[in-house]
Structure 1
């Protein structure tokens, strides 16, 4: 056996003892979790913003505990130094527990506690595992519980992630508003039940898309406010056992500086620990946002279909070949990818709702699943949104000649014509057009009912939404 591999240290807990690598920053609780749980194959370190907020909560707690004389000044300074060191360097490699683990997240909390304790020991020139000097439980975790720490970190993380998602949606809105103006004079067929229905200006459809993403962004921003209420100081079930007067106020004050958000304590700590409906509500809004954008993506798939056998009213930028069998085929890959991502986000939401509902009595045992699914859904959605915007939405072309040709060959002009020449005469012309293969435009002009220019003016007025 390699001599380096043989260097181990032994740690003990209430169950027994384990041998760990001598210089490992994690401890026995993390070691057991890694060996017990490998459900999703994604580790705590794969979600760095979550790790950062977990550490910042420990950082704020250490300062507070030191200020109230609950731990010594030397321990406070060492823990704070470890927090600063890890966050500054983003040294998240030792956070190795699976994101989905047993219980309510104890392994996640202990992974943070053990790494901070051991890094604090290292910074003092001591060996990892010398917990009689700095303890993961008695010092790093003082006045805290897994419940209040994880819920608070989840909310702070989601606040950041939602802010990024909102910024992405606002970017969409700007693009759609610009396209609303650019494509305003182009007419195309408006379709209902996938049948020709009414004339519509292309710009009007893009204005509708802009309103949709603006509304989605505003909904998410409204829900962000609920994330400013934290249960820190509630400890395990809301009684505050283990905390002390002044703890919550000072911890929140420090976290306000870290987050630049108006953080407050939950009005009722029992509610804050037991009931996680805010996460279900937020997840549902994220899901709805994804599905809303997938509707736009599906519109683009239909409108770009062809180039001969479909609508071909817009052209999407070619990004890769579309078939191993059919040479020259190009698929709307980013639009289809957006739809698939939205469906995946819907599936993740379907795991959050029952996990929120399954809380039993005084806490919710399924915090890891709620956290994992929430973070992952926003990560997937934001990635898909950026790809769809940069490679599809922003670069699409509207094929004005094809839009006009499709409209003029359809009976979608009939509702506009009936206002000028009457329902019966319009219906007669529609029947003639169907039987002869001619267009309504040709028939109207041929019979001297209207000029071609008058028909176009009529169609534009018919599309007015003023």
Structure 2
């Protein structure tokens, strides 16, 4: 005869696990890869609402550092090989894009980045535990601090990870700047034969080609790419192995060199250990240098966008020398209006980058004694600047520059009627005669060419030679050809 008792239901999985720190015990969601230190940081820093995972390069860089540390500690005999292998495997998964959603602390935080380092330690430890067949939180098998953070301190892990993240992100900006440079260079070639008036102080100056104008933008970008490359060289000097203040306390004497070697292999970057780790732990100069270069890029890029807006203004009542590609309707009230929205958004990115530079400057200046506690806002500001500048360069290239066209007839007419042509006649008719012709042209509305011929100052052939585009825009080249 069968039992009259129903089988007892299987117990539901626990919703929380209990973890302990120096402040006491807390319940952590059972399925969370982060732990108690991260939980407290999330509660303490509800500042921007932006988690560090918004910067995947930073998360990947943290995993690179933790992987290099595990390998170094294994090599030096300070970490069990079984644990090290699990930590390395967890780090490789994170570097591959997994578990980024577990990096939940706010980008701006007190504690000099300690919360970010704790977040990384806990995620790596809990994933390593899983790979070893244990449950999350069973830290007696792999501990976030004893094992994942062995031989380390936030004060060498965090700045090292930030520098690697900045380098990764800067390479993407360098690529985007190259795309924009090439777009301007292509337009320079396309417009090489288009004569126009150059301007100084917004007044007619002397003739040039539209190609020369666009070539300038390409050259400026290439100059800034070189400066950014130089700034990247400075941030490749790291303080990993310095631990708390640069003395290397609690790290193996060979740890710094061995860990840096592994980090070079993992990242592919030519990293080097600073000669003096005490100095390197407190000095934020490389961040200030990088920020200054980003401000330089932003300022010059914004100036270029100002030019594009001026040159295209109109289309009937402004300069109207070039046409920007229409990408969206410009007004909710004015039919047919199209605005230069892409240069405008790049202008705004530039304003943000300039503001970020001030934040970096003040944070670097506010460092005290053996540590700068304000590196989180430095990291956030620089990563924002790099990321937004990259997006701005690509957007400007793809949504604006490649589609620019020239109003050739309008440009030719402006040159023909500009008193700026008188400057080109100085060597041939003298400054006094050129001034008189320019003044009469301005007052009468007649062209300089017409008046010079009428007064018999030059012949038709002489004028044609002097006013040839090659002689006007490239006199040195034409003279030596």
TM-score, normalised via structure 1 length: 0.96
1:189 partner SS: strand
Aligned-residue offset at 1:454 = 4.8
Q: Name 1:349's counterpart in structure 2.
A: 357
**How many pairs were matched up?**
464
Rounded Cα–Cα distance in structure 2 between residues aligned with 1:456 and 1:129: 86
Q: Name 2:5's counterpart in structure 1.
A: none
Q: Name 1:125's counterpart in structure 2.
A: 133
Alignment of 1:43-442 (within 5 A): 43-442=51-450
Rounded Cα–Cα distance in structure 1 between residues aligned with 2:445 and 2:159: 66
CA contact (8 A) 2:61 2:161 kept: yes
2:257 partner SS: helix
Rounded Cα–Cα distance in structure 1 between residues aligned with 2:50 and 2:472: 55
CA contact (8 A) 2:91 2:124 kept: yes
1:131 partner SS: coil
CA contact (8 A) 2:68 2:266 kept: no
Aligned-residue offset at 1:417 = 2.1
Rounded Cα–Cα distance in structure 1 between residues aligned with 2:72 and 2:14: 40
Rounded Cα–Cα distance in structure 2 between residues aligned with 1:175 and 1:288: 20
Aligned-residue offset at 1:447 = 4.1
Aligned-residue offset at 1:342 = 0.6
Rounded Cα–Cα distance in structure 2 between residues aligned with 1:308 and 1:452: 33
CA contact (8 A) 1:39 1:98 kept: yes
2:49 partner SS: coil
Q: Residues 118, 450 of structure 1: CA spacing in aligned structure 2 closer, same or farther, 3 A cutoff?
A: same
Deviation larger for 88-97 or 234-243: 88-97
2:101 partner SS: coil
TM-score, normalised via structure 2 length: 0.93
CA contact (8 A) 1:5 1:21 kept: no
Rounded Cα–Cα distance in structure 2 between residues aligned with 1:448 and 1:149: 79
Q: Which runs of 5+ in 2 are unaligned?
A: 1-10, 477-481
Alignment partner for residue 14 of structure 1, among 17, 22, 30?
22
Q: Name 1:463's counterpart in structure 2.
A: 473
Aligned-residue offset at 1:77 = 1.7
Rounded Cα–Cα distance in structure 2 between residues aligned with 1:60 and 1:49: 16
2:400 partner SS: helix
Rounded Cα–Cα distance in structure 2 between residues aligned with 1:309 and 1:177: 29
1:20 partner SS: strand
Deviation larger for 60-69 or 426-435: 426-435
CA contact (8 A) 2:177 2:390 kept: no
Residues 165-195 of structure 1, C-alpha deviations (whole Å, 9 max, x = no match) = 2222223333333333332221111111111
Rounded Cα–Cα distance in structure 2 between residues aligned with 1:252 and 1:456: 67
Aligned-residue offset at 1:452 = 6.2
Rounded Cα–Cα distance in structure 2 between residues aligned with 1:61 and 1:97: 22
CA contact (8 A) 2:180 2:394 kept: no
Q: Residues 347, 452 of structure 1: CA spacing in aligned structure 2 closer, same or farther, 3 A cutoff?
A: farther
CA contact (8 A) 2:45 2:108 kept: yes
Rounded Cα–Cα distance in structure 2 between residues aligned with 1:272 and 1:192: 46
Residues 348-398 of structure 1, C-alpha deviations (whole Å, 9 max, x = no match) = 111001101111111010111111111011001110111011111222112
1:120 partner SS: helix
Rounded Cα–Cα distance in structure 2 between residues aligned with 1:170 and 1:86: 29
